[in-house]
Amino acid sequence: MKNSHASPRRRASQAPSLPMILLLLVLLIAVGVAVGKRVGQKNAEGTPIPPAPTESAAPAAVLSPAEPAEKYAQEQDFLISVIGDNTLASHQFAGATVTFAARMGDDYSYPYSNTVQYFENDDFTITNLECTLSDDKNLRSAEQWYFKSPSAYAQILTEGGVDFVTTANNHMGDFGEKGEQDTYAALEEYGISYGKEDDFKVITTDSGLVIGVYCAYNHLKPLLGHAEHAIQMLKNAGCEYIICAFHWGQELYYTPNQDQIDLAHACIDAGADLIYGSHTHCLQPIERYGDGYILYSMGNWSFGGSTGPTDPDTAIIQVNVHRDKDGKCINKELNIIPCCVSSKPVLEGYRGDNYNDYCPTPYTEGSEAYERVLSKLDGSYEAKVQGRDYSDVYAQYG
């Protein structure tokens, strides 16, 4: 009886009959025609439509099925604010009566006193911190220009509503490793999140948005491979919104160079939602690329690096981010608040060599200065001069 069950199994492994072969050929031809039609189709713009993705194309990090229903019962909007360089110190050659410390006194709320209303009720405020915070009086710097303040100056950021600072810039190393460690310690003491060079961080806002930030300087040449790796790691960590903070570009150039453009586009392609640029000490254009925003440079903010900056213009950029019930976050719209780095030209009509009082102030809507800021950000500004030769300044101070 056992042998009577073996025979059918052997017949099943034999070559199929001719009718079966013909049926298989018909099925294969039908599948091939369907795939060929799919590959050959084009969208409205005439671009070929690729084949449908396979299982292997699934993202590396996927939320569990139960989590979105629990976490995203409702759609939600978030507000992210971006501002330029915070140099909360004076350069070593500033006259005693016009230094950052002299203008501010002991009032740590002073530098943000005319703009704090924009940051108090947003979900996340990010800036570039371009100074050392340390109480070590023995620290010395060999740099021509260096910026150092007491650790208590971190309270300027908390008073102003700042949530995150990037320290990946060309002044973080002015006072060596000790200066860097003191700065990180001061930020931690006052509860300010920060990113270091070639570093990525995950921050969950009080409102529940999970933000990933990657910071890079690399002598003004952030590396694409490092950025792409960080973006993927932030995706894997469950970040819903990803920001790349790059210190790059050329000082006082009003247009980004090709390296900036190429890196920014590649990072958006890799999954970043916002590129935040700093270093140039002037505003550069904003670009909407794909689903992302690129802020090529946000210029200065509360900037103690000069008593009379070459360019007084700056801005607050606020990005409205929308999260749907499926957990997808998109850049919904962008709002611009044109500002001056100082209150004096706005409130007193004052310019002069020492016009900077380190208190950024919004320009009057519709004013010439207000429209000038908008032209710098939309790329229509025609600069009469680009770049800056500091040799005369160096000679003046020896």
CA torsion angle 395 85 88 307 (round to 10): 40
* Cα separations in angstroms, 133 against 14, 42, 124, 173, 183: 81, 57, 22, 12, 5
Beta bridge partners of 314: 339
Q: Alpha carbon of 375 to those of 284, 362, 382: distances in Å?
A: 10, 16, 9
pLDDT digits (tens, 9 = 90+) for 23-48: 444 444 443 434 333 333 333 333 33
Query: Is 48 in the same domain as 84?
Result: no
The answer to whether position 69 is within a domain reads: no
Q: How far is CA 128 from CA 86, 223, 245, in A?
A: 6, 19, 8
Domain count, the chain: 2
Q: Clarify whether residues 45 and 193 are in a common domain.
A: no
* pLDDT for residue 52 is more than 90: no
Tell me how far apart the alpha carbons of residues 252 and 65 are, in angstroms, rounded to a whole number: 50
Residue 9 lies in a domain: no
Residue 11 lies in a domain: no
Residues 48 and 106 reside in one and the same domain: no
Instruction: Judge residue 84's burial from the number of C-beta atoms within 10 Å of its C-beta, 0-12 exposed, 13-18 middle, 19 or more buried.
Output: buried
Are residues 233 and 271 both part of a single domain?
yes
pLDDT tens sequence across 349-374: 887 889 999 999 999 999 999 999 99
Same domain, 217 and 258: yes
In a domain, 63, yes or no: no
Residues 95 and 149 placed together within one structural domain of the fold: yes
In angstroms, rounded to a whole number, what is the distance separating the alpha carbons of residues 231 and 218?
A: 17
Cβ proximity of 74 and 325 under 8 Å: yes
SS3 assignment, position 90: coil
Same domain, 48 and 179: no
Domain that holds residue 321: 75-382
Whether residue 398 is contained in a domain is answered as no
Share of the chain above pLDDT 70, in %: 80
**144 and 235 fall within a common domain:** yes
The answer to whether the beta carbons of residues 78 and 121 sit under 8 Å apart is no
What kind and span of H or E run contains 396?
Answer: helix 391-397
pLDDT for 48:
36
Whose CA is closest to 126, among 267, 265, 242?
Answer: 242
Do 22 and 88 fall into the same domain?
Answer: no
In a domain, 392, yes or no: no
Helices (H) and strands (E) in the chain, counts: 11, 16
CATH of the domain at 291: 3.60.21.10
Claim to verify: residue 270 and residue 184 sit in the same structural domain: yes
Residue 271 maps to a domain? yes
Same-domain pairing of 104 and 172: yes
pTM tops 0.85: no
pLDDT at 16: 46
At 390 the pLDDT is 58
Residue 61 lies in a domain: no
Region 210-227 average pLDDT: 98
- Residues across the chain: 398
Tokens of 234: 């932030």
Q: Picking from 186-190, 254-258, 324-328, which range would have the lowest pLDDT averaged per residue? A: 324-328
Specify whether 304 is located in the same domain as 205: yes
How far is the C-alpha of 345 from the C-alpha of 368, rounded, in Å? 12
